[in-house]
């Protein structure tokens, strides 16, 4: 089974909403992890802030681009790597980053499934509405 992350055409679909929420919350978590790393690894502060701020900006930019097709969803999956690798400086980020990666993947896949089901129900309702009423 191929992983299909093509978003539904509905403007406020579940896939976009779930994925965007995860990415924005994750950007805040990265910011707080960078603040912690600032104190935990004082010799690498420049690297920490550069890595953290670029990751944060990329997560926020990706969350804004989710309506542009399937590629931002794949980019969001790819952006989980630098979040997990923050574990090199803040050990807890191995678990937190991994958890966010699983959450993001689940939200993208389950949101796509929910949008597909919702589109099918909408199509049935529209088809039933267009059928003429039987006359007695």
- Residue 70 pLDDT: 87
pLDDT at 136: 67
Mean pLDDT, 10 residues at a time, over the chain (136 residues)? 69 88 97 93 90 96 90 94 93 95 93 88 83 69
pLDDT computed for residue 2 by the predictor: 64
For the entire predicted model, the pTM comes to 0.86
The rounded distance, in Å, linking the Cα atoms of 52 and 32 is 9
**How many whole angstroms separate alpha carbon 10 and alpha carbon 48?**
39
């Amino acid at each position: 089974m191929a992983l299909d992350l093509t978003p539904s055409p509905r403007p406020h679909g579940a896939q976009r909403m779930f994925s965007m929420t995860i990415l924005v919350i994750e950007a805040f978590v990265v910011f707080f992890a960078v603040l912690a790393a600032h104190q935990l690894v004082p010799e690498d502060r420049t690297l920490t802030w550069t890595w953290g701020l670029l990751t944060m900006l990329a997560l926020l930019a990706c969350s804004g681009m989710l309506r542009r097709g399937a590629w931002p969803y794949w980019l969001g999956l790819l952006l989980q790597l630098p979040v997990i690798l923050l574990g090199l400086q803040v050990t807890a980020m191995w678990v937190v980053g991994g958890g966010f990666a699983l959450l993001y993947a689940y939200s993208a896949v389950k949101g796509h499934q929910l949008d597909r089901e919702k589109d099918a129900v909408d199509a049935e309702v529209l088809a039933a509405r267009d059928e003429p009423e039987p006359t007695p």
